[in-house]
């Protein structure tokens, strides 16, 4: 099954990858190991998953401007996410990090994607056109 969402464009780019979905808030400063790209937040449902080359989808950014430095560092090491998607409006500090890292970034989809997308689904983010497409890989009851 494939579903398309309209999204607000923040940082342009067009990528496809496996989704890592965090239903709550997320911070690059403290929730991810910047040397391995592994989610380390103790309360995260995706703890232990690496976000390298993944489409990172979460509700909203938490924390300070230090998260942008972690994103830039990870991207320079080649272990950053392929794209960022947030349900809530953009965090401008993180947007700056995404711009400097050239990581596509979208937000405010036209549907509540946290109910629609699961970790492991294949997601295409077209941040140049403001479209996100999801191909479900996980079987689940409808």
CATH number at residue 23: 3.50.30.10
Q: Does residue 140 lie in a domain region?
A: no
Residue 138 is predicted with a pLDDT of 57
Domain that holds residue 64: 2-135
Cβ(93)–Cβ(67) below 8 Å: yes
The SS3 of residue 85 is strand
Options 25, 64, 65, 75, the catalytic residue: 64
- 25 labelled catalytic: no
Q: Does residue 142 lie in a domain region?
A: no
113 phi, psi to nearest 5 deg: -65, -25
Tokens 């040397």 map to which residue? Answer: 35
For the chain, 142 residues long, the average pLDDT of each consecutive 10-residue run is 95 98 95 97 96 97 89 98 97 95 98 94 97 78 40
First to last CA, the chain: 11
Domain count, the chain: 1
Reported pTM: 0.94
């Amino acid at each position: 099954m494939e579903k398309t969402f309209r999204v607000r464009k923040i940082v342009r780019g067009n990528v496809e990858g496996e989704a890592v979905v965090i239903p709550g808030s997320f911070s690059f400063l403290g929730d991810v190991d910047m040397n391995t790209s592994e989610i380390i937040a103790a309360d995260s449902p995706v703890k232990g998953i690496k976000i390298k080359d993944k489409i990172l989808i979460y509700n909203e950014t938490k924390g300070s401007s230090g998260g942008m430095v972690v994103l830039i560092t990870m991207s320079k090491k080649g272990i950053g996410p392929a794209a960022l998607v947030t349900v809530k409006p953009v965090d401008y500090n993180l947007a700056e990090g995404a711009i400097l890292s050239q990581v596509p970034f979208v937000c405010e989809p036209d549907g509540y994607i946290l109910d629609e997308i699961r970790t492991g689904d294949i997601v295409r983010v077209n941040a140049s056109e403001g479209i996100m497409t999801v191909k479900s890989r996980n079987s689940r009851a409808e």
